[in-house]
């Protein structure tokens, strides 16, 4: 990852016919520097979440026997895979599910325990918690692969965390957000084109990771 935020901000300024100063100022007054930086950070995080092109391992999610919900890392965005690492040293995959599906398939999960859970959920409970279903009767670890919050971009020379090949997609996503803003620069047709270029980058990343089907 070698592309810096200042370089992309300069390219965006060129596309938007603004004086280029690495995103420090926006002479038209249509956008503020902070606003564009927020667009850029949001797009990078969305790209990482949609593609799973960069994932992090965490093996320190200690659990408590008989407890359903356990804390996730503070930089968690979304989960790619979860495994139960039992105290006996064995592993078991925990498919992602939700409480509704568990109610249908295993109605007693809410009040019974098993040595090893069958499912996990990170979407129907408090943020930054993972629920195992049913609760484990034995101590163990939940090991996860997940997308983490990327380093905050600015206009001070921070490197993107997406691979260099996909930084142009982030640029087009930012341009789409800028042109979608209600105001004198609002341009739905150009915004739609820019959004299509962002979506193209997302699909290219997915294809490279999973292969062409």
Whether the predicted pLDDT of 52 surpasses 50: yes
Backbone angles phi, psi at 183, to 5 degrees: 160, -165
Whether the predicted pLDDT of 1 surpasses 80: no
| Domain boundaries of the chain, sorted by first residue | 5-52+161-210, 56-148
Whether the predicted pLDDT of 211 surpasses 70: no
Q: What is the pLDDT of residues 139-196, one digit of tens each?
A: 888 999 999 999 899 999 999 999 999 999 999 999 999 999 999 999 999 999 999 9
Whether the predicted pLDDT of 71 surpasses 60: yes
Strands (E), the chain: 56-62, 69-71, 76-86, 91-93, 113-114, 119-121, 129-133, 135-136, 140-148
Q: What is the pLDDT of residues 97-123, one digit of tens each?
A: 999 999 998 899 999 999 999 999 988
């Amino acid at each position: 990852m070698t592309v810096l935020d200042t370089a992309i901000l300069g390219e965006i300024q060129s596309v938007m016919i603004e004086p280029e100063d690495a995103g420090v100022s926006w002479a038209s007054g249509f956008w503020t520097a902070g606003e564009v930086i927020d667009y850029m950070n949001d797009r990078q995080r969305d790209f990482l979440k949609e593609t799973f092109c960069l994932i992090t391992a965490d093996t320190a999610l200690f659990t408590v026997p008989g407890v359903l919900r356990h804390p996730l890392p503070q930089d968690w965005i979304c989960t790619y895979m979860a495994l139960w690492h039992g105290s006996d040293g064995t592993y078991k995959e925990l498919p992602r599910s939700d409480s509704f599906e568990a109610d249908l398939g295993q109605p007693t999960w809410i009040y019974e325990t098993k040595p090893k859970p069958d499912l996990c959920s990170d979407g129907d409970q408090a943020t930054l918690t993972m629920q195992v279903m049913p609760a484990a009767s034995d101590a163990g670890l939940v090991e996860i692969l997940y997308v983490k919050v990327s380093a905050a971009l600015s206009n001070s020379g921070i490197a993107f965390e997406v691979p260099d090949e996909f930084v142009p997609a982030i640029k087009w996503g930012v341009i789409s957000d800028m042109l979608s803003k209600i105001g004198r620069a609002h341009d739905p047709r150009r915004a739609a084109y820019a959004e299509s270029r962002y979506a193209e980058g997302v699909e290219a990343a997915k294809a490279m990771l999973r292969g062409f089907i």
